[in-house]
Every structure is written in C-alpha cells, then in structure tokens.
Amino acid sequence: SSSKLLIKGGTVVNAHHQEVADVYVEDGIIVAVKPNIKVGDDVAVLDATGKYVMPGGIDPHTHLAFEFMGTETVDDFFTGQAAALAGGTTMHIDFVIPVNGSLSAGFESYEKKAKKSCMDYGFHMAITKWDEVVAQEMEIMVKEKGINSFKFFLAYKGALMISDELLLQGLKKCKSLGALAMVHAENGDAVFEGQERMIELGITGPEGHALSRPAVLEGEATSRAIRLASFVNTPLYVVHVMSIDAMEEIAKARKAGQKVIGEPVVSGLVLDESGLWDPDFVTAAKYVMSPPIRPSGHDKALQAALSTGVLQLVGTDHCVFNSTQKSIGIDDFRKIPNGVNGIEERMHLVWNTMVESGQISVRDYVRITSTECARIFNIYPKKGAILAGSDADIIILNPNASFEISAKHHHSRTDTNVYEGKKGKGKVEVTISGGKIVWENNELKVIPGAGKYIEMPAFNYLFDGIYKADAQYLSSTRAPMKRFHSST
Ligand code: URP
Ligand code: ZN
Ligand code: ZN
Ligand code: ZN
C-alpha cells in the first residue's frame, strides 16, 4: 500500500536555501518541493504555516545497547531511537565495538541489536587492537558492510585504548580504504596517572573524574592525533570536542589547510561544571562522561567555534546508564559508567542555544544538525536535505511553541536527565520518518523493525586532493645528495 503525505505552507529550510513551499511525499521518498502543490483526497495533509519544515536531525555519535564498564546502556536500539524521534532526530550513527577484537563478530552482534530499530541508522566501528586480521576485516567492513569510519580511542587505558603505533597503522589503513579515521582524544596514560593522584588525595567522588582528566590532556591528544593524521596525510574526525584546548588545535590545523573535522556534543555546548558536583552521589554521577564537562567558559567558546565553522556538526554521545548503574562507582569515581543522555534533547537545545540566541541562522541549524553529517559520511542528499528524491525524514518545528526537558516525561529509559528543567522556545511538533508521521501531538507512533540500515560508501569528498598531494610529494622527493657519500 502506498502512503502519501503533503506538508503545506511551511518554510522549507535546507542548508543551502530556504523558501515557503509545500513538500509532497510518496512511499517514504520526497517527490516534489514547490509552492501550491495540488493533491487528491487520498493524501494526508499537514499544515505547516508559520513553521519550519527541515530535514530530520542526524546524530553522528550515539551508543545504544553498548556494553561498557561492566554494564550495558539502558537505551537499546528501540528505546533510544524512539526518544530520538520524539526530539526530531530521524537517523543516528552508532559505534560497533569489536567482540574479542573481531570486527565481523562485532558487526554481527550490532546487526542483531539493531533489528528492533524504529528509525534509520548507520555504523562507525571502533578499532581496539591491531593485526593482519583486523586490517583485512577493515577492508571487508568498508567494501561489503557499508562502514566508512573507524574510531580510535586514545583513552580508557586497559580497555579500549590503543597505542600511537596502532593509531598510525589505523590511519594508514583508513587512508588506503578511503575511510574516515575518528579519535577519542584524551591522553589515557596521563588520565590513569591523574586518577591515581585523586584517589591518593582521598577524592573518590564524581568530581574526582573531572579533576583527574583536565583539558590539557584533551589538547595534547587532539594535537597528537592531528599531527599524526597530517604525517599520514589523511582526514581526521575528532569526536566529542569538549574543551578550548582541543578546539584550538582543530582551528589551527584547519587554518593550515588540513582536513580535520571537529564534533562538539550537546553536553559540552550547554553545560559547564559549576554546580554539577552535588554532595548527593546520584545527582552528581549522572554528569560523569569522558572527556568531562569543563569549567565555565569552554561551553561558550565551543558555541562560538560552531557558529564560525571551526567546528562543523553536533553530536550527543548519548550513552545512558541509570542511577543504579551509576552507583557501581559510589566508592570510586573510576568505576562510574561514563556517559550522558542527549539523543532526544539535541535538536531543541541546539535550536535554543544557537538559533534562538541569535548566534546562527536557521539554515546553519540545518547544516550542523543534519546536512553536514550526511555530507561527511557520504549519504547526502539521500539524507540531510528536503529535495525531490531524498528520503522523507522530515521535522516540523514551531519557533513560537516551547519545550521543557524532564526525566518525568522524556522517552529515554534512563531515570535522570542531565538537562533537567531546561526550557525554551522552538519545539519539534511533528517528526516524519521514512514518510510516516511518528511523532505528533506529543505522541509517538513507532514500530520496531521499521528502521533501515543505511550503508555509507567510502571515498567521500573529504579525500579530494589527498592522493594527488601524495603523488606530488613522491615525484618531488629527490635522490640522496652525493656530497654525503664519502667513498664510491
Ligand atoms: O563518556 C562517554 N563518552 N561514554 C561513551 C564512550 C565514548 O568515549 O564515547
Ligand atoms: Zn569517546
Ligand atoms: Zn562516544
Ligand atoms: Zn654512496
């Protein structure tokens, strides 16, 4: 059966253009975008007069059904995605974690976890060890499984952390496959040392987490990863940029022409450390994530970097553990499962912080919440645009309605919310996923299994010029200079 839908009279916003127009959708695909589309009685009509019609959000950074730090996130691919849809996000890219170092076993396990998906999703993959098998499996992931990005953790010593040697091998492999290397940039050895210092000082509560891994360690690892990517001459994507220190390294590299992408996350943009470390453990522990939420000042600087294009897109790092799980670390902050919520709140908080405040335009909002992510991961304009032929993942945002965030009515399965009580103007009133209305009148109509896996092809525009630069470098390298040879 065919489903037809007309969105009438809204301001249709793409990253490149906006106009008052109707949007006509058939069978999950946008068929036409123009003023005054006439349709028959069999077509459902949504009135969007005075509202914005925009591409659904794409969250580049989530962890659903993630087994981490001895436990598993409470949001799985159904509950996390339902929350996303209620907040105007219609696609996310999650991180596959290898199983005992095996990428294919990791991929299969995430394929299973994702069967209950109610919206479209893609995968990045983490690389946690190195050998010939891993190198071969990376190629299979890119050529056969639709993965075009790999994350390297420079932190979580003894668990996910890798060495510089592995990072170099990984960067080279990514480059040869036309895949994008991503880094979690904190110096894991120094973090480990910092954690021991805190414990020795008797600081065992959640504030010890932030104190043990200051911004200087994020700056160091960001700089190191950027320089190694420059040495290999391959693009680099820095995930969850939380500090001025890391952001300035990215700014410097971009100014020099290096292909570096910086992803701030909502928590880093809208929260600062003041008042977070409540004496009540559970109240404080919900904010524990890595890199940590920084002191006041970093948030505003990251907003400014986003508005000027130094940073390019916004993720969430949605990775939620409930109060019981967070309490695993009641006597030792090192055991608190790391992660905060955000998949449902991102679109509202970015609107409020960046657009409502006057820092960016509505078109830029579309770019940083959707289009840029689709472009980077090579799925534009299937995703990230309201154009004829694009997938019908669409939101209707009413700039005059208001939102208020609370664990009392959010859709995530977790029992706390790091944005508790935040409110403002600009509300996602309707979410359309795959051509179907899944969120309207504050009600979700989601179906497990309705979401599709989106394959992300390699060799995207980020690699333009990379191989040419190598060829030029090789052709310009000279033979050893004769004067250094003593005999012969
Ligand atoms: O605290 C965090 N960020 N948890 C998720 C894992 C990661 O490092 O992205
Ligand atoms: Zn990370
Ligand atoms: Zn993450
Ligand atoms: Zn010689």
Nearest CA to ligand 1 atom 9: 317
Pocket probe for ligand 1: among 319, 326, 418, the residue whose CB has the most ligand atoms within 8 Å is 319
Q: Per-residue pLDDT for 397 more than 90?
A: yes
Question: Does residue 7 register a pLDDT over 60?
Answer: yes
Q: What is the pLDDT of residue 420?
A: 98
Give the pairing type, strands 149-153 and 120-126: parallel
Predicted confidence at residue 1, as pLDDT, reads 46
In this predicted structure, the answer to whether residue 186 has a pLDDT above a threshold of 50 is yes
Protein residue whose Cα sits closest to atom 8 of ligand 1: 290
Predicted confidence at residue 485, as pLDDT, reads 55
Q: Ligand 4 is a single-atom ion; what residues have CB below 5 A from it? A: 485, 488
- pLDDT 10s digits, 132-152: 999 999 999 999 999 999 999
Query: Region 393-414: what's the mean pLDDT?
Result: 98
The pLDDT of residue 487 is above 60: no
ipTM of the complex: 0.91
Closest atom of ligand 1 to CA, residue 239: 9
pLDDT at residue number 336 = 98
The verdict on the CB of residue 188 being under 6 Å from ligand 1 is: no
Phi-psi region of 423 (alpha: psi -120 to 50; beta: other; left: phi over 0): beta
The predicted model gives 425-436 an average pLDDT of 98
Ligand nearest to the CA of 287: 1
At residue 27, the pLDDT reads 96
In angstroms, what is the span from residue 41 Cα to ligand 1's centroid?
Answer: 49
Of the ligands numbered here, which is closest to the C-alpha atom of 290? Answer: 1
Residue 460 pLDDT class (50, 70, 90 cuts) = confident
Question: Which residues are CB-neighbours of 161 under 8 A, at least 6 positions away?
Answer: 153, 154, 155, 188
pLDDT digits (tens, 9 = 90+) for 35-51: 999 999 999 999 999 99
Binding site membership of 63 for ligand 1 (Cβ less than 6 Å): yes
Does any ligand 1 atom lie closer than 6 A to the CB of residue 319? yes
What are the pLDDT digits (tens) for 79-117? 999 999 999 999 999 999 999 999 999 999 999 999 999
Distance CA 428, CA 433 (A): 13
Mean pLDDT score of the chain, rounded to an integer? Answer: 96
472 CA → ligand 4 middle, Å:
26
How far does the centroid of ligand 2 lie from the alpha carbon of residue 334, in Å?
16
CA angle 291, 295, 296 (to 5 degrees): 130
Over range 309-313, report the average pLDDT: 98
Residue 482 has pLDDT above 80, yes or no: no
Please give the distance, rounded to the nearest whole angstrom, from the Cα atom of residue 409 to the centre of ligand 2.
28
Confidence at 174, pLDDT banded by 50, 70, 90 = very high
Test site for ligand 1: of 150, 186, 290, 343, most ligand atoms within 8 A of the Cβ: 290
pLDDT digits (tens, 9 = 90+) for 259-272: 999 999 999 999 99
If you average pLDDT over residues 178-185, what whole number do you get?
98
The finding on whether 238 has its CB within 6 A of some atom of ligand 1 is no
What mean pLDDT comes out for the span 451-475? 91
Give the Cα separation of 432 and 19 in Å (integer). 20
Q: Which residue has the tokens 């006057």?
A: 358
pLDDT at residue 283 tops 70: yes
Atom of ligand 1 nearest to the CA of 151: 9
* The predicted structure's pLDDT at residue 478: 60
Interacting residues of 460 by C-beta distance below 8 A, sequence separation 6+: 148, 178, 180, 375, 376, 377, 378
184 lines ligand 1 (CB under 6 A): yes
* Per-residue confidence (pLDDT) for residue 375, from 0 to 100: 97
| d(C-alpha 455, C-alpha 141), whole Å | 10
Q: State whether the beta carbon of 338 lies less than 6 angstroms from ligand 1.
A: yes
User: What phi and psi, each to the nearest 5 degrees, are found at residue 184?
Assistant: -90, 105
Residues 144 and 458 sit within 8 Å (Cβ to Cβ):
no
- 315 CB within 6 A, ligand 1: no
Ligand nearest to the CA of 159: 1
% of the chain beyond a pLDDT of 70: 97
Q: pLDDT band for 426, please (50, 70, 90 cuts).
A: very high
Confidence check: pLDDT of 349 > 60: yes
Q: What is the mean pLDDT of residues 362-378?
A: 98
Structure confidence at residue 486 as a pLDDT band (50, 70, 90): low
- Nearest ligand 1 atom to the CA of 156 is 8
